[in-house]
Amino acid sequence: MSNIKLSCQEANHVCDKNQYKEANFWEKVKLNIHLIYCRACRKYSMRNGKLTKAMASSKVEVLDTISKDKMKAAFEKELANHQ
């Protein structure tokens, strides 16, 4: 029985792995058993799921590397002007 028990720290780690589809079958089984009796980890797991869903459905756009470099150079130039 001790083989299937997880500490809360281990359960949270498996939950994170599961979020990125890296948890294996037995880790998922152990996590689900742990979630049956641990309210705190159930809450963590639900929040993790919501975060994953929010990130998947977001339409966030990021700057490309060239634009970032230009912005950094402009910032450093302005910063030098004020010193």
What's the pLDDT tens digit per position in 24-51? 999 999 999 999 999 999 999 999 999 9
Contact indicator for 28, 4 with CB cutoff of 8 Å: no
Q: How far apart are the first and last CA of the chain?
A: 66
The pLDDT score that the predictor gives to residue 2 is 56
Q: Where are the domains of the chain?
A: 8-81
- In this structure, which long-range contacts are made by residues 30-38, counting pairs with CB atoms below 8 Å and at least 24 apart in sequence? 30/4, 30/5, 30/6, 31/6, 33/4, 33/5, 33/6, 34/5, 34/6, 34/8, 35/11, 38/8, 38/11
Q: Provide the pLDDT for residue 58.
A: 86
Confidence check: pLDDT of 23 > 80: yes
Q: What is the distance between the alpha carbons of residues 43 and 33, in angstroms, rounded to a whole number? A: 14
Is residue 10 over pLDDT 90?
yes
